[in-house]
Amino acid sequence: MAINKKIYILDTNVLIHDPKSLFAFAGARLGIPAVVLEELDQFKSEGTDRGRNTREAIRQLDHLREQGSLHDGVPLDNGGTVEVLFYLDSTINKTPFISTMGDNKILLTALALKEKGNDVVFISKDLNARVKADALGIATEDYSKEYISEKEFYQGWIRVAVPSIELKNESPKELIQFAKDGLIQKNEFVLAESQNNPQNYRIYRYNGGENFKAVSLPQLNWPLQPRNPQQLMALNLLLDPEIQFACLFGPAGTGKTFLTLLAGLHQLFSTKNYDGMLISRPVVPLGRDIGFLPGTVEEKMHSWMMPIYDNMNFIMHAINKAKRQHDDEKVDVVNKKNKGRKESHSQKKPRLITFEDLLHQGIIKLEPITYMRGRTIPYQFIIIDEAQNLNSHEIKTLVTRVGQGSKIILTGDPYQIDSPYLDFGSNGLVVASERFKGQGIFGSIYLPTSERSELSKLAGELL
């Protein structure tokens, strides 16, 4: 085999991030350092997503081994080859980095190949490993097969300035032209603002063809309403039974979780579209299994689910306040009718329902993501919070759990990612939104405006 050829060296984290990355470099020579196999061996027994991806990567390599020699290089159907590489002890003294570290052994392998005249490119999801590779004079790149830039990601809505007279029409002419030019996706929203007064606006949702439908405030039984146009768009998707999959993303305080819980409760108790609500979120850090924590599943989940409790308690307070006011009005009416009559007994006010009651009754369930694998979940309003910490493979695993009559909502902040191998453009939330855009059963909304408080908004911008 000729050695003076471009070769891509894969870091361990690339195989863990995407076990099928072995087949993502068509026509290229692909090298797997032997130390990568040792690191995979350390993770293969984990019950985490990292462990599952590791086992899948090992299975892929074992399948290739059956087709040829990994030492000499196994040809792939895409025209490339895969081989296992070993570093030489003679290169140890040529690097200032600690040679016993796994990452540095991978870099030593790449450095030895480079010194033999190969055109080496080191592929890694680890920022620091890429920095060290560059310091050694090795070309390096991120594994960005599914990368979406911050400037080009699908937001689910666009802003259009139109003459104010057009806002009185069912569908402004400018919007119809957008549809004809193919510049808008199905279920994408348009914030149509007056050219002279942006405060004068209407919101439309594109339904395909040349059809747009004006979006109005939802009729909720509780004194809770969206605070900005994007929140109204989000509620429109969340309350639509035809939308089976939706993504809500944006910075902290924009109302993603709050709106999703509100819409879920409305459809549980008012429209009765679903039999229950299932809420889950990744356990951070992702590598730590929830079993290490003491107590029952509910007790283990409580710490991770505090944002859910906070939002639910706020919503339930508003619901109960409205119910209390309604009951008081009914009592006033009865008292007026019974004025002058002697009451035989006093009426007790009905007990107000709490979030804990809904959990105890099983109407709402809090579950770790690990327990959702392998299930089929019918007739449930499913919420996956903090979905930006999941990769596209994990999102696929969750969405394929959705059964008949269910709806799944992914929420998260792609600017606030805890996984060391994911960023804005490669996390599963943004990738899922990009891939599903234009599908009739899908909708996505990016919420840019924080409604939590002025302090929270400033903290997000300044800190």
Residues 303 and 432 in one domain: yes
* CA gap 150, 152 in Å, rounded: 6
Exposure string of 188-217, with b = 16+ CB inside 10 Å and e = fewer, is bbbbbbbeeeeeebbbbbbeeeeebeebee
At residue 438, the 3 state secondary structure works out as: coil
Residues 298 and 393 in one domain: yes
What is residue 279's DSSP assignment?
E
Over residues 333-343, mean pLDDT: 62
pLDDT for the residue numbered 284: 53
Query: Does some domain include residue 328?
Result: no
User: CB–CB of 430/148 below 8 Å?
Assistant: yes
For residue 430, the domain's CATH number is 3.40.50.300
Structure tokens given for 217: 């405030």
Over residues 82-109, mean pLDDT: 72
Residues 286 and 192 in one domain: no
**pTM recorded for the entire structure:** 0.76
pLDDT band at residue 147 under the 50/70/90 scheme: low
CA-CA-CA-CA torsion sign (75, 80, 82, 85)? positive
pLDDT for the residue numbered 101: 66
Report CA dihedral (231, 233, 238, 241) to the nearest 10 degrees: 160
Is the pLDDT higher at 379 or at 52? Answer: 379
pLDDT band at residue 221 under the 50/70/90 scheme: confident
pLDDT band at residue 350 under the 50/70/90 scheme: low
Query: Does some domain include residue 337?
Result: no
C-alpha distance from residue 384 to each of 124, 175, 271, 306, 430 (Å): 28, 33, 22, 14, 14
Residue 288 has pLDDT above 50, yes or no: no
What DSSP assignment string belongs to 371-417?
Answer: GGTT--B-SEEEEETTGGGS-HHHHHHHHTTB-TT-EEEEEE-TTS-
Query: Does some domain include residue 13?
Result: yes
Residues 166 and 261 in one domain: no
Structure tokens given for 288: 């730590």
Angle (nearest 5°) at CA 106 between 100 and 112: 105
pLDDT for the residue numbered 57: 94
pLDDT by residue (tens digit) across 384-436?
A: 999 999 888 889 989 999 999 999 999 999 988 887 777 888 889 999 999 99
Q: What are phi and psi of 280, to 5 degrees?
A: -145, 160
Q: What proportion of the chain, given as a percentage, has pLDDT over 90?
A: 51
What is the C-alpha R_g of the chain?
Answer: 27
Residues 244 and 202 in one domain: no
What is residue 346's DSSP assignment?
P
pLDDT for the residue numbered 233: 98
Query: Does some domain include residue 342?
Result: no
Q: 276-280 and 364-366: which strand pairing? A: parallel
Residues 248 and 373 in one domain: yes
pLDDT by residue (tens digit) across 114-143?
A: 888 899 999 998 888 999 999 999 999 988
pLDDT by residue (tens digit) across 159-196?
A: 999 999 888 888 888 898 889 988 899 999 999 999 98
* CA gap 213, 186 in Å, rounded: 12
Name the average pLDDT for the chain.
Answer: 85
Those residues whose C-beta lies under 8 Å from the C-beta of residue 6, and which sit 6 or more positions away, are 28, 29, 118, 119, 120, 121
Over residues 297-325, mean pLDDT: 81
Residue tagged 């026509």 (tokens): 27
For residue 87, the domain's CATH number is 3.40.50.1010
* CA gap 309, 324 in Å, rounded: 22
Nearest to 49 by CA among 372, 278, 401: 372
Domain enclosing residue 155, as ranges: 148-216
Residues 137 and 152 in one domain: no
User: CB–CB of 194/229 below 8 Å?
Assistant: no
pLDDT band at residue 332 under the 50/70/90 scheme: low
Over residues 346-372, mean pLDDT: 80
Query: Does some domain include residue 229?
Result: no
For residue 134, give the amino acid letter.
Answer: D
pLDDT for the residue numbered 403: 94
Residues 242 and 130 in one domain: no
pLDDT for the residue numbered 186: 96
At residue 91, the 3 state secondary structure works out as: helix
pLDDT for the residue numbered 295: 65
* CA gap 14, 181 in Å, rounded: 39
pLDDT for the residue numbered 90: 58
pLDDT for the residue numbered 287: 40
Angle (nearest 5°) at CA 450 between 384 and 261: 35
pLDDT band at residue 341 under the 50/70/90 scheme: low
pLDDT by residue (tens digit) across 228-262?
A: 999 999 999 999 999 999 999 998 889 999 999 99
Over residues 219-227, mean pLDDT: 88
Residue 289 has pLDDT above 70, yes or no: no
pLDDT by residue (tens digit) across 26-77?
A: 899 999 999 999 999 999 998 777 888 899 999 999 999 999 999 999 999 9
Residue 1 has pLDDT above 50, yes or no: no
C-alpha distance from residue 140 to each of 83, 123, 137, 183 (Å): 19, 6, 9, 36
Residue 205 has pLDDT above 50, yes or no: yes
